[in-house]
Amino acid sequence: MRCLNDSEIQAAADNEAADAILQHVRTCRRCSERVRDRETIMAGIRQAIQTPLSMPDALSRRIGQALADGSSQGATRLRDSAPTGRTSRRAFWSAVAVAAATLVVIFLIIPMMKGPTTVSAAEILAASANRLAQPDTQGVEFLEYELTLDGAPRGMMPDHANGTYRVKQIIDHAKAGHYR
C-alpha cells in the first residue's frame, strides 16, 4: 500500500481510519511518525480548547430553573409554533389601523400639502430664470406672479411698503433676450 495522505494521517490520529490504513501505519515507519506528530498537535489543541471554563452562575440558575419548570418558559421563551386567537385578532386590527392611517395621508394630508403657499421673491426669480433657460418653449410667453411683501427691508427697498404686488413678465421666445 502507498504511503498515507494528510487526511488519512489525520483520520488515523483521530482513530477514525479504516483497518487497511491502520494496518499500513503499523508497518510503515514514516507514516507512523507522521501519525504520532499529528496526535501530539491534536493533544495540544485539545488542551487549549478544553480549558475548564465555568459557566456564569446567573446563566446556570436561569437555565436550570427553565428546565425544572419543564414549560419552556426561560428568559427567552421558545416561540409557539402557531399563533393564538388573540395574536391573530391583534394582527387583524393592526392591519386595519395601518390601512386607515394610509388613507388619511393620501386623501387629507397630501392634498393639504399641495395647497397655495407663500413663496419668496428669490423663488419667483429662480422660476422665471428656469423658464427662460428652457430652449424648447416657442412663441410669446406671458407670466404673472403675485408677490406679497411682509417685513420689507427698508435699507434695500426704501420705496416699497409691505403689501401685495403683481409681477408680470413677457418673454418673446422667437428673439433671444427679448423680454420685459
Partner 1 sequence: MEARTNASQAARQLFEEHGAAVYRFACVLLRHHQDAEDVVQETFLKLLKHLTDGGNADNLRGWLFTVAAHAARDRQRRRLRWIPWAPTHDLGVGPPSLPDEDGSLRSLRSALRRLPVRDRLLLTLRSEGLSYREIAAAAKIRPASVGRLLARAVDRWDRAWRETPAISAKTPRHEVL
Which residue's CB is nearer to partner 1, number 48 or number 174? 48
Using CB under 8 A, pick the residue from 27, 76, 118, 138 that binds partner 1: 76
User: What is the smallest separation between the CB atom of 155 and partner 1, expressed in angstroms?
Assistant: 53
Question: Contact region for partner 1 (CB under 8 A) — 39-47, 113-121, 138-146, 153-161?
Answer: 39-47
Per-residue b or e along 69-104, where b marks 16 or more CB atoms closer than 10 Å to that residue's CB: eeeeeeeeeeeeeeeeeeeeeeeeeeeeeeeeeeee
**Which among 57, 65, 1 has a CA at the least distance from the CA of 27?**
1
Taking alpha carbons only, the member of 60, 63, 8, 72 closest to residue 34 is 8
Question: Under the criterion CB under 8 A, does residue 35 sit at the interface with partner 1?
Answer: no
Residue 68 within binding range of partner 1, rule CB under 8 A: yes
> Cell for 159?
420705496
Q: Pick from 20, 45, 167, 170: which binds partner 1 (CB under 8 A)?
A: 45
Which residue from 139, 145, 136, 179 is spatially nearest to 165, judged by alpha carbons?
Answer: 145
Residues of the shown chain interacting with partner 1 in the complex, contacts defined by CB under 8 A: 6-11, 14, 16, 38, 41-42, 44-56, 59-60, 62-64, 66-70, 72, 74-78
